[in-house]
Amino acid sequence: MLDEDDLMIYQESQEPDENDDLADDDDDDDDDQEFEGNGETSWCFSQIKGALDDDVTDADIISCVEFNHDGELLATGDKGGRVVIFQRDAASKSSVPRRGEYNVYSTFQSHEPEFDYLKSLEIEEKINKIRWLRRKNQSHFLLSTNDKTIKLWKVSERDKKVEGYNTKEDTGIVRDPSLITALRVPTIKPMDLMVEASPRRIFANAHTYHINSISVNSDQETYLSADDLRINLWHLEITDQSFNIVDIKPTNMEELTEVITAAEFHPTECNLLVYSSSKGTIRLCDMRAAALCDRHAKQFEEPEDPTNRSFFSEIISSISDVKLSNSGRYMISRDYLSIKVWDLHMETKPIETYPVHEYLRSKLCSLYETDCIFDKFECCWNGSDTAIMTGSYNNFFRVFDRNTKKDVTLEASRDIIKPKTVLKPRKVCTGGKRKKDEISVDCLDFNKKILHTAWHPLENIIAVAATNNLFIFQDKF
């Protein structure tokens, strides 16, 4: 059973840990609560977290990034199964101009490597997704998952201790009852702040295939987990039972034509969810219609442009991420070359399409040979749904302003890790004469890629994961 602190299971977490190897660098500010034209906003460097060595171990590579609901906490997961939580620096928040700076709040080992003896398969400890629960008490709660097991973590602070027990010494040793001659009243004493992370629930043995998504429902009581072929619905209090709500596995696996790539609950309607597929379709399901959502309520799909048809068409049309807007009216989907904005009221085509790196269309053959064409880029909204962000190669990331239709390419580079350094827009040259400040498409480093990004829910502060480093940028006031 939950303890009293857990009665409402929700929240987000962080913890200061001076021994953590995540380094800091400062910068400038963001004191505007409004999201203005982000395509023309000047972004500047705030901080970089993580070791700056060129020799990066695989376990240190960041695999997910997530702000909590008020942006006070920022969590990252890595391939080594660790979760690091950063907390907004109070002084930077109250300074004028306001700065977006975060300090390490808590670090803990979420998952360990396992071995499935029945299938003779290793289960990686890599954290695939982190999702915060809304805060309901003094503690923070988050869900983290690897390929097979989801865990609910409670992160809480302790700055007081109880002394003067009757039946045990302060060291914890039980006292001899015959020596207890008087009744003592325990007293509460202050102590150094300690942040504790403890697993409150472990949800296991429900997925045959690798989990690619988890999403907390707006009712804050249930959540979904999705793998390649199935989506399960869980209650946060029940670990030994889940309900299969989507199953696209064919009777004969030779007839398999698509897999589920991402899934998410609607932000306000607890009965609605969307999931995307490797065939470039997004399906919206209503759980009120049937227990098994094998019939979707809506299907969003854009007809293929015959002029761009090629051997790689099916691969690059696969949707790697889908995110519903904060208002619940729109959603964005990311495929290999573009990001699309959909209106939930219109299934036939997206209302906006933004090319991310169209210059790579001529390079698809070499990208296929190096497996880069299968990279899964994520995407995210800003807090007011007026701008979207996604990653690219060469540590580039793209910000699109939906109001002005302007966009910008920026680079998460160690060359700019000085306070208040303004990020210069980058341009890629596809042929002909290369202008100053442009980079040739042939010079792009495809080993440096921005797959994971997050946008503060209330301010223009963004977090960008570049290999083992977490960059934090903010808009220049």
Residue range 166-175, pLDDT digits in tens: 888 877 788 8
pLDDT value at residue 401: 96
Number of other CB atoms surrounding residue 1 within 10 Å: 5
Contacts 24+ apart (CB under 8 A), 309-314: 310/364, 312/364, 312/365, 312/368, 312/373, 314/279, 314/280
Report percent pLDDT > 90 for the chain.
Answer: 70
Q: Compute the mean pLDDT over every residue in the chain, rounded to the nearest whole number.
A: 89
Q: Can you tell me whether residue 464 is helix, strand or coil?
A: strand
DSSP bridge pairs for 104: 86
- Banded pLDDT at 34 (limits 50, 70, 90): very low
pLDDT value at residue 430: 82
Residue position matching structure tokens 């303890």: 3
**Contact status, residue 396 vs residue 411, Cβ threshold 8 Å:** yes
Q: Name the least confident of 26-40, 164-178, 255-269, 394-408.
A: 26-40
Query: Higher-confidence residue: 51 or 268?
Result: 268
Put the strands of the sheet holding 222-226 in their side by side order: 213-216, 222-226, 230-235, 242-247
Element (H, E) at 76: strand 73-78
- Banded pLDDT at 337 (limits 50, 70, 90): very high
Query: Higher-confidence residue: 42 or 378?
Result: 378
Put the strands of the sheet holding 452-455 in their side by side order: 43-49, 469-475, 461-466, 452-455
Judged against a pLDDT cut of 50, whether residue 16 lies above it is answered with no
Query: Higher-confidence residue: 439 or 305?
Result: 439
Distance CA 199, CA 138 (A): 16
Segment 402-410 shows an average pLDDT of 95
Burial (0-12, 13-18, 19+ Cβ within 10 Å), 149: buried
Burial (0-12, 13-18, 19+ Cβ within 10 Å), 100: buried
Element (H, E) at 429: strand 427-429
Distance CA 112, CA 59 (A): 12
Query: Higher-confidence residue: 476 or 453?
Result: 453
Complete DSSP assignment for 129-184: EEEEPPP-SSSEEEEEE-SS-EEEEEEEEEEEEEE--SSB-TTSPBPPGGG--S--
Distance CA 184, CA 168 (A): 11
Pairing of strands 230-235, 242-247: antiparallel
Residue position matching structure tokens 């083992």: 468
pLDDT value at residue 12: 35
Q: Can you tell me whether residue 17 is helix, strand or coil?
A: coil
> Pseudo-torsion of CA 69, 195, 64, 118, nearest 10°?
-120
Element (H, E) at 94: helix 90-94
Helix residue ranges per DSSP H, 415-462: none
Q: Can you tell me whether residue 421 is helix, strand or coil?
A: coil
Q: Name the least confident of 237-246, 282-291, 412-421, 431-440.
A: 431-440
Judged against a pLDDT cut of 50, whether residue 376 lies above it is answered with yes
pLDDT value at residue 125: 97
- Banded pLDDT at 23 (limits 50, 70, 90): very low
pLDDT value at residue 477: 58
pLDDT value at residue 277: 97
Segment 229-241 shows an average pLDDT of 97
**Secondary-structure breakdown of the chain: helix, strand, coil percentages, each rounded to the nearest 5:** 10, 40, 50
Distance CA 477, CA 182 (A): 65
Q: Name the least confident of 72-81, 172-181, 278-287.
A: 172-181
pLDDT value at residue 172: 77
Peptide bond connecting 97 to the previous residue in cis, omega within 30 degrees of 0: yes
Element (H, E) at 410: strand 407-411
pLDDT value at residue 143: 98
